[in-house]
Amino acid sequence: MWILKTIFKTLLLPLAGIYLAITSIRNRLYDWKVLKTHSFNVPVISVGNITAGGTGKSPFVIVLAKILIDAGYLPGIVTRGYKRRSRGQQIVRDRASLQSTALLAGDEPFLIASNVDGAVVISDSDRVAAAQTAVEKFGCDVIIADDAFQHRRLKRDVDIVLWDAHDHPNRSRLLPFGRLRESMRHLRRADLLLVTRTDSVSPDRIAFFRRINPGLFIAPLPMTVTRVVSMKTDKESEKSELWEKRVLAFCGLGNPRQFFNTIKNLTAVNPITRAFADHYKYSAKDIEDLKQQADEKECRYLVTTRKDAVNFPQSARIPDNLLIIDIEYFLSKKIRAAIFHKLPPRN
């Protein structure tokens, strides 16, 4: 099997070279101002990845928006709305209330909008147009651009990149050979690099990133499980209820390993796991099959993420023992200070 994997990866090398050439040329055209950027009279904060796959951007956008609201800002969150069943621009939240659904807005924009009172959330593949709507129609005085590190048409004041603590930067390779969306050298554009789901960043990892960008602010971004709730009743359970229980954990995330590791830490038992495609839209049969598998494996609970829960169909029969795991990032005083230091003075 390893021989087949090695041959397959070798065949992908030429494609990685082509991908490198395309992304490098595109970035050079922006650097040389051949391709134009669009700016607004309000600050723009980009939150993104340099790798494909999940690093937990949505929970970070949620906590960032809340911090900005607490500081007196009126944030507008602009996002692509990946795999949504609509076209054009969707107002997901108008600051006062939800205006769309997960199907029309996309699961992540809907999740963000459901968790941030006081923010405007807009799904639009054209994030420049979305930012314009947020500023001109809703009076937003700061823009958070979700998953926008590579979306250079929208000029930004702060570039925040999230990095998965389990990824080794010196082993990273470009798509499709690896998970990099662009060469690591383009981290020179970043202002902050936050290493997710960890309490510390090793000196050798810091040194690796600083060789690319000596001025890069680097910090850990620890994650905590805030709630364990029944999907059927919304009743909250103590996290200790999962300890030493056998569970079936399932998710449709870009990086399911992160979620499965979280569950293992909550239970101290290796979970039965099912990974679906990122942004997976579940059917009623999927839910029935998962319940049947949990019963066959004698699992006390089924557990999933809030993002997956919004992708359940209304027709699904929710098992009594299905739990949702809510997570939240902790932003240290140093991270908050680094972000606000990069923002221009308020008028």
The pLDDT of residue 174 is: 80
Q: What is the mean pLDDT of residues 150-168?
A: 94
Name, in order, each residue with C-beta under 8 angstroms of 287's C-beta and a sequence gap of 6 or more.
Answer: 312, 316, 317, 318, 319
Structure confidence by residue, pLDDT tens digits, 269-291: 999 999 999 999 999 999 999 99
Gap between the Cα atoms of 328 and 307, Å rounded: 13
Judge residue 175's burial from the number of C-beta atoms within 10 Å of its C-beta, 0-12 exposed, 13-18 middle, 19 or more buried. middle
Name, in order, each residue with C-beta under 8 angstroms of 254's C-beta and a sequence gap of 6 or more.
Answer: 52, 53, 54, 55, 278
| DSSP calls for 232-247 | TT--EE-GGGGTT--E
Bridge partners (DSSP) listed for residue 326? 227
Q: What domains can you pick out in the chain, each with its CATH number?
A: 44-222+330-342 (3.40.50.300), 224-328 (3.40.50)
DSSP state of 278: T
Gap between the Cα atoms of 305 and 260, Å rounded: 10
Residue with tokens 């900005």: 68
Higher pLDDT, 55 or 44: 44
Whole-number percent of the chain with pLDDT over 90: 79
